[in-house]
Amino acid sequence: MEHRLELKNISKSFGEVQSLKNINFHLGRNEVVGLLGDNGAGKSTLIKVITGYHQASEGEIFFGGQLATDLTVAKARKLGVETVYQERALAELQTLWRNIFLGREISNRFGFLDVNKMKEETNRLMLESMGFTSMAVNPDSAIQTFSGGEKQGVAIVRALYFDAEIIILDEPTMGLSLKETRKLLNFVREIKAAGKSAVFIDHNIFHVYSVADRVVVLDRGQVAGEFRTEDITLDDLMDKMYQIAETGSFT
């Protein structure tokens, strides 16, 4: 069976800087892949190629075995990719409901919005998934008043709402409390349980190890290693990571 997602020989340059070099990467059906690597290793660039935000300088992307040409974010979302970006991708002056449906508004075929539906759905999400119970927050609240963890919660709930086949989480635990982090890791396990796939980026190797089926290590724009979590102990994985950080590869 084809992979849910496959990247072949992907390179990406920004002017002189080559951020990705000949990346081969795949995400299986119902698989959670953890992406590890130092700051600047190219993790965010890689997922932005997948989400259609960056166009690869070279290489091909396949969704379910189908070659995707001229990929854009809108196309990728239609293909079932939802993302929690490292930079959160929120519009702070706008209301909660506008942020939940940012770029994917509920509308008729002429583009007219169903505002009530979006507010109702937001209300439901607030109660069921975000755990907002305070009277002060409602779908019409501007999110600039939210705490860091609440904002991150908005970005996460949004990615989960659309019932995507592939969910990409780029450092989603940033700004989360211990309790919220545990909730997030459970979300990732639920994605897996629901038969979906995910790419999970986190600085914390414990988080990644605890939810991923497979770990891919990036170093300076290249894939430096790949392990199934069932084949490697956490200690061994940490040893490998140190090795990669020092030498750029491992033996």
Partner 1 sequence: MDIEKVKPEAEAAAADSMKIRITRRLRANATQVGIIAVFLLVWLFFIVAAPDTFLKPQIYNAFMSTIPFFAIMALPLTMAVIAGEMDLSFTSIMALGMVAFIKVFEATNSVGLAFLSSLLTGTLAGLLNGAIVVWIGIPSLVATIGTQFFWRGAVLVILNGKGGTLVPIKETLLRKIMVGQVAEYLPSQMLWLIAIAIGTWILLNRHKFGAHIYLIGDNENSARLMGINAKRTRILVFALVGLASAFAGMMSSMQVSYFWPSLGEGYLLRTLASVFLGGTSVFGGVGTILGTFLGSFIIGAIEAGIVAIGLTGFYTQLIYGFIIIVSVSMHAVMRKRMH
**CB nearer partner 1, residue 107 or residue 222:** 107
The reply on whether position 10 binds partner 1 by CB under 8 A is no
Q: Which among 14-22, 34-42, 136-144, 192-200 is the span making contact with partner 1, rule CB under 8 A?
A: 136-144
Say if CB 230 and CB 224 are below 8 A apart. Answer: no
Residue list 63-92, contact with partner 1 (CB under 8 A): 72-74, 76-77, 83, 85, 87-92
Which residues lie below 8 Å from residue 160, measured CB to CB, with a gap of 6+? 82, 129, 167, 187, 191
Asked if 37 touches ligand ADP (CB under 6 A), the answer is yes
Residue 14 interacting entry, from Mg ion, ligand ADP, partner 1, none, C-beta within 5 to 8 Å by type = ligand ADP
With a CB cutoff of 8 Å and minimum separation 6, the contacts of 119 are 97, 139, 140
Which member of 45, 51, 197, 229 binds partner 1 (CB under 8 A)? 51
For residue 88, give Cα distances in angstroms to 99, 191, 210, 225.
11, 20, 23, 28
* Interacting partner of 152 out of Mg ion, partner 1, ligand ADP, none (Cβ under 5 to 8 A depending on kind): none
- CB under 6 A: which stretch of 11-19, 102-110, 145-153, 178-186 binds ligand ADP? 11-19
DSSP state of 127: I
CB of 40 to ligand ADP, least distance (A): 4
Long-range contacts, 172-177 (Cβ 8 Å, 24+): 172/84, 172/200, 172/202, 173/202, 173/204, 173/207, 174/86, 175/148, 175/149, 175/151, 176/149, 176/152, 177/149
- Site size toward ligand ADP (CB under 6 A) is 11
Question: Residues interacting with Mg ion, by CB under 5 A?
Answer: 44, 86
Question: Residues interacting with ligand ADP, by CB under 6 A?
Answer: 14, 17, 19, 37, 39-45
